[in-house]
Structure 1
């Protein structure tokens, strides 16, 4: 942990005196944390995590490890006690996860019924749904990011290849790039390509092609981002076959927004990755409406879920959006 704190501070270009002043912690204590002669309190760990931009989970694991070692490292039966403690923690965790899943299960069951209904439609109807929802997702996504194109203008650019007078080329390029990115994702799904880091970067590059070329397809240049991205894809590989796809998609979105690995486009990448997972498993797009009220709700739910470390808050939000879009998809055919 001492190395984690010191490296993060130096990467931020801060002196121990500056950290002490900002956090109202004695400078001598900061130095002792970095030398390993003192352990910070949990509250101090939280403050250090925010200031030095260290992933909260990473620093808490290091802090707890040192706390455990301090208490039992030299005890004769330490390893046996740790094994028993691990078993009890795992059992408790399973019970908690079971409760959370039960609270989501009603929504998941309702979504499956709607999804199966759509899958019973004929190929013409499913293509009709796919085209309509894809255009809607593109429109909502670019509007969410401040693009002024209307739905009809977006449709003309995407479906007819027209150029819209009075609209900037960047705005039109945002719509074109997103449509091409979605086509790329659908091609990956058709080839059964798993979600991986190489394609994650390729998608970011496509999304900002001709807009922000200097940073497209590149992470922020720091060791913390590299480590967190590595942990993300390890987590995905571990959980892709054990978590429900909707839960996996929502939690992946949360992790990407927490890491914020790019200089720009982190929310867009989180949304696209979420929808990549959904489309992989034959769900429909889950996109936030572009009106102010919906955007404010999305931001509020996202922040609340991250601050409380309660992923079920954001997962429930995504389940609601997915259900609404499935209902809308069925209505498109019923009209």
Structure 2
């Protein structure tokens, strides 16, 4: 594993000092990881994988191999113990594997068929169609949060640079900021950037820029309550740790979950932590859609009308208070399916 770490760091053009700084550990410790004289913790391995863009499975296998060799490699019964352990691990893995309901699996299968069809007609992608759909996304995402701009007014603000009479400065900024945040996640998608703390804080910074500059791109320092919800977000002193776990969960699960489930889970987990004073919903939906775009899907646009908004909030509430995410996963999957169907219809397929 030591060679893997050193090669990845050098490929990224980083010094051991810079890696240490980004990990929040001592520089000497990074050097010891690379020389093999110290073993990183599991959490540090996951962080290193994200930072150095090493495939998580590759680095975890290397780390576990060295851990096994160090613990039992010299023991005469090591091979027999490993054979017995293999049986045990296979059984535990099979029994603990998270099951997807047949209803959700059916929608995921339908989505995958639609995506195959979409992949075959990518040549029909149009900048103007994408622009129109992104405009709708900005309109709907802001409408969920109470912005009163119409779709036409949203268009005039973004594409004509007009000021709408009777609408507040905040509403204008929400429109402009959200559109810039979409451009940002598209850039991240094209660069195939991993989702990490820096990117999520940058998305949030764009959302609140000029509206609440002192809170833009910063975790909250006060306790908050979610209006109309019985879910109580974690205390402010727990937010940084919860967010650290959030990114570790992503790195651990991003290769094993269906992209729709992964995107929905990341949305639900982020909005449940509620790490910001304001803009949590918009940021969570942007993170969800970044994952969908990275995996070749299209933006899942949750509507802001009363019925859609209530269903969205109710499924989130169930996930947050009853530890049952099924309804929310189904809701997001259905939104993505409808978005794909509509997109294929627009391009005439």
Same fold (TM over 0.5): yes
Q: Which protein has the bigger helix share?
A: 1
1:300 pairs with 2:303: no
Judge conservation of contact 1:119–1:126 (CA < 8 Å) in 2: no
C-alpha distance in 1, partners of 2:266/2:131?
A: 25
8 Å CA contact 1:253–1:271 kept in 2: the answer is yes
Counterpart in the other structure of 1:136? 136
- Alignment-derived partner of residue 207 in structure 1: 207
Asked if the contact 1:285–1:322 (Cα under 8 Å) also holds between the matched residues in 2, the reply is yes
Provide, for residues 80-99 of structure 1, a one-character-per-residue CA deviation record: whole Å limited to 9, x for no partner.
9xx999876543222xx2x4
Residue 324, structure 1, aligned to residue 327, structure 2 = no
1:92 aligned partner: 95
The answer on whether the counterparts of 2:140 and 2:303 sit within 8 Å (CA) in structure 1 is yes
Query: How far apart, CA to CA, are the structure 2 residues paired with 1:172 and 1:109?
Result: 40
Tell me how far 1:246 sits from its aligned partner: 0.7
In the superposition, relative to structure 1, how do residues 243 and 138 fare at CA in structure 2: closer, same or farther (>3 Å)? same
Contact 1:157 1:175 in 2 (8 A): yes
Alignment of 1:1-335 (within 5 A): 90-94=93-97, 97=98, 99-100=99-100, 102-121=102-121, 123-221=123-221, 222-334=236-348
Hey, what's the Cα distance between the residues in 2 that align with 1:120 and 1:91? 35
Q: Which moved more, 1:165-174 or 1:205-214?
A: 165-174
Local SS of the residue matching 1:100 = coil
- Alpha-carbon distance between aligned partners in 1 of 2:342 and 2:100, rounded to the nearest angstrom: 27
CA drift of 1:188 comes to: 1.1
CA distance in 1 between partners of 2:127 and 2:189 (Å): 16
Return the offset for 1:129: 3.3
- Please give the TM-score of this superposition, normalised by the length of structure 2: 0.67
SS at match of 1:156: helix
Alpha-carbon distance in structure 2 between the residues aligned to 1:139 and 1:263: 22
Structure 1 counterpart SS, 2:284? helix
- Structure 1 regions of 5+ residues with no counterpart? 1-79
Hey, what's the Cα distance between the residues in 2 that align with 1:263 and 1:298? 20
TM-score (normalizing by structure 1): 0.70
SS of alignment partner, residue 225 of structure 1? helix
Contact 1:286 1:318 in 2 (8 A): yes
- 8 Å contact kept, 2:124–2:347: no
Q: Distance in 2 between matches of 1:197 and 1:297?
A: 29
| 128-137 or 311-320, which deviates more | 128-137
Higher mean C-alpha deviation, range 108-117 or range 208-217: 108-117
How many Å separate the matches in 2 of 1:116 and 1:91? 29
- Between the two proteins, the alignment pairs up a number of residues equal to 251
Residue aligned with 2:194, SS: coil
- How far apart are residue 282 of structure 1 and its match? 1.6
Q: Hey, what's the Cα distance between the residues in 2 that align with 1:304 and 1:199? A: 28
The answer to whether the Cα contact below 8 Å between 2:219 and 2:277 also exists between their aligned partners in 1 is: yes
Q: Is the 8 A contact 2:318 2:325 kept in 1?
A: no
Root mean square deviation of aligned Cα: 2.2
Distance 1:158 1:118 in 2: 28
Deviation, structure 1 residue 106: 1.7
Supply the distance in 1 between the matched residues of 2:261 and 2:206 (Cα, whole angstroms): 26
Q: Is contact 2:316-2:328 (8 Å) kept?
A: yes
Quote the offset at 1:132 in angstroms: 2.2
